[in-house]
Amino acid sequence: MSKMTIDVVGRPLARTKSRLGTILLLVLGLGLLGFGLWVRGLPAFVAWQAARDHAHGLGGRPTSRVWSSEPAVVTAWLEQHGTPVPPLPDHAGSAGLVGAHYCSLVDRVAAHVVYQGEEASVSIFVLHGPVRAPSGWSASVHGVHVHFVRAAGRVLAIVGERHDDVRAALRGFATSVAAVDPPRPKLLT
């Protein structure tokens, strides 16, 4: 009797399907990552985040970490924690400065300066991370006004229920030293 041999051969079709599945999952994952990074800087997405936190952060009593109506005290606290800010106004329209804290937005952490009044509240978010919006971009999100402005090298989101209060805060930044661009060196010709 002769010995019988059995050759074990891999299944090429199964191996090809497995590789295609892996490549498909990798491409899908990279696509989702790219989409997330693209959405991250969209002004409408950042405005939605700021409006959402404005509503949560001012529910009844703000969750400020520094309580002061003095802009210098709030500015010093933020700068102590690594966030340089432009000169802050003591009022934003009918709302007075209450304090500040850090808040977690969906894709970033922002310094949240809180102003409250009898009828309205205003939030100024000092944003970290990209925002692909021109200075002056504005929208109404969930019933609140959101306005982006660049001041002292930072992007600020000014959020409030009343358009007049948001405009008053904007005027405060436009007339402060924060609106002045640093001088640019002249090119020698």
pLDDT under 50: residue ranges of the chain? 59-61, 178-189
Q: Rounded to an integer, what distance in angstroms lies between the CA atom of residue 122 and that of residue 55?
A: 10
pLDDT at 144: 92
Q: Do residues 99 and 66 lie in contact, with contact meaning Cβ atoms separated by under 8 Å? A: yes
Q: Rounded to an integer, what distance in angstroms lies between the CA atom of residue 85 and that of residue 29?
A: 37
- β-partners of residue 114 are 99, 123
Q: Do residues 101 and 112 lie in contact, with contact meaning Cβ atoms separated by under 8 Å? A: yes
- Calculate the alpha carbon distances from 57 to 27, 32, 64, 83, 110 in Å: 39, 30, 9, 19, 12
pLDDT at 120: 84
Amino acid at 39: V
pTM of the shown model: 0.72
**What are the E-state strand segments in 45-106?**
66-67, 91-92, 95-104
Q: What is the 3-state secondary structure (H, E, C) of 91-123?
A: EECCEEEEEEEEEECCCCEEEEEEEECCCCEEE
Q: Rounded to an integer, what distance in angstroms lies between the CA atom of residue 146 and that of residue 157?
A: 6
